Structure 1
Amino acid sequence: MHTQGVRFSLLGPVRAWHDDREIDLGEPRQRAVLALLLLNLGRPVTLEVLSDRIWGEAVPSTARSTMRTYLSRLRRALGAGSPLQSGHGGYAARADPGRRSEPGRGRSG
Structure 2
Amino acid sequence: MGIQDIIQGKKQWRAHMARVKALPPDYQIVYKELQKYIFKVGPVDLVDGNLLSDIIDFFEEGVAADKGVLELLGNDVAAFCDDLMKDSRTYADIYQESIIGKPGTTGK
Structure with a larger share of its residues in helix: 2
* TM, length-normalised to structure 2: 0.24
Structure with a larger share of its residues in strand: 1
Larger radius of gyration: 2
